[in-house]
Amino acid sequence: MPYQVSSIDPAKTVCIVVDMQNDFVANGAKLQSKQAHDMVPKLAQTLKAYREKGIRIIYTAHVHRKDGSDMGLYDDLYGPIADRSSLVDGSTGAEIYNDLAPAAGEHIIKKHRYSGFFGTDLDIILREWGIETVIVTGTTTENCCHATARDAMFHNYKVVFLSDCTGTFDYPDVGQGAMAAADVHRATLTILAFSTAHVMTADECLARVEGAPVPLRKAG
């Protein structure tokens, strides 16, 4: 039976905003996730409510050095990474999308692989803060969000995965058939709900936060 998160203690919870960078979110970006772009208002509203509740926010940013020294196999996987037109550390495209900009004092964890835990100090920070539960938001549902959620569970954190504050893109046919973003997203949520996390909406999550609930209005 998959575990359930019935109550969320703000002092022991962090929300991880995964890779909501210009190169993944902004219109015209080569690696844009349309779902991620469309859920920005909902995520921004949710982060505001979390801050009001005292839940810490931490960001990840997938970046690579321009000389390729941290690239690994990404040159073989993604053209815009291989030609250094996307996710270059220090570039405007690698910055967090402005509507979701970190508040003063909030950290951005730079990572070079899908998971926010791989080769970073994220776990050190969370343990220093006494975190027990992580809330995963961002993009893409099946890659960086999924990998971060899995690694969080491997590190013995309870994981809440927000179904309406994560998103992905349409998959082309590379030999196994094409998949629409909605199908990729739904399949990933199904898998995570069984094996890794308590999958819920942002409103359902907020209702579990200890203290008086802060109702979320629908994004306009």
Domain spans of the chain, in order of start: 14-207
pLDDT at 220: 41
Phi, psi of 191 (to 5 degrees): -65, -45
Q: In what order do the strands lie in the sheet with 56-62?
A: 108-111, 56-62, 13-18, 133-139, 158-167, 198-200
| pLDDT for 212 beyond 60 | no
> Which residues touch 85 (CB under 8 Å, ≥6 apart)?
30
Q: Which CATH number fits domain 14-207: 3.40.50.850, 3.40.640.10, 3.30.1380.20, 1.20.58.190?
A: 3.40.50.850
> Which residues touch 37 (CB under 8 Å, ≥6 apart)?
25, 26, 27, 167
pLDDT at 210: 87
| pLDDT for 189 beyond 90 | yes
- Which 8-state DSSP code applies to residue 28? T
- N- to C-terminal Cα separation, the chain: 37
Residue holding tokens 């819920």?
A: 200
pLDDT at 69: 96
Mean predicted confidence (pLDDT) in 68-96: 95
Q: Is the peptide bond before 140 cis (omega within 30 degrees of 0)?
A: yes
| pLDDT for 213 beyond 70 | no
Q: What angle do CA 152, 58, 10 make, to 5 degrees?
A: 80
What digits encode the pLDDT tens for the residues 19-76? Answer: 999 999 999 999 999 999 999 999 999 999 999 999 999 999 999 999 999 999 998 9
Structure confidence at residue 3 as a pLDDT band (50, 70, 90):
confident
Q: How far apart are CA 8 and CA 59, in angstroms?
A: 20
| pLDDT for 4 beyond 50 | yes
Q: Is 159 exposed, middle or buried (0-12, 13-18, 19+ CB in 10 A)?
A: buried
| pLDDT for 172 beyond 70 | yes
> What is the average pLDDT score of the chain?
95
Q: Would you say how long the chain is, in residues?
A: 220
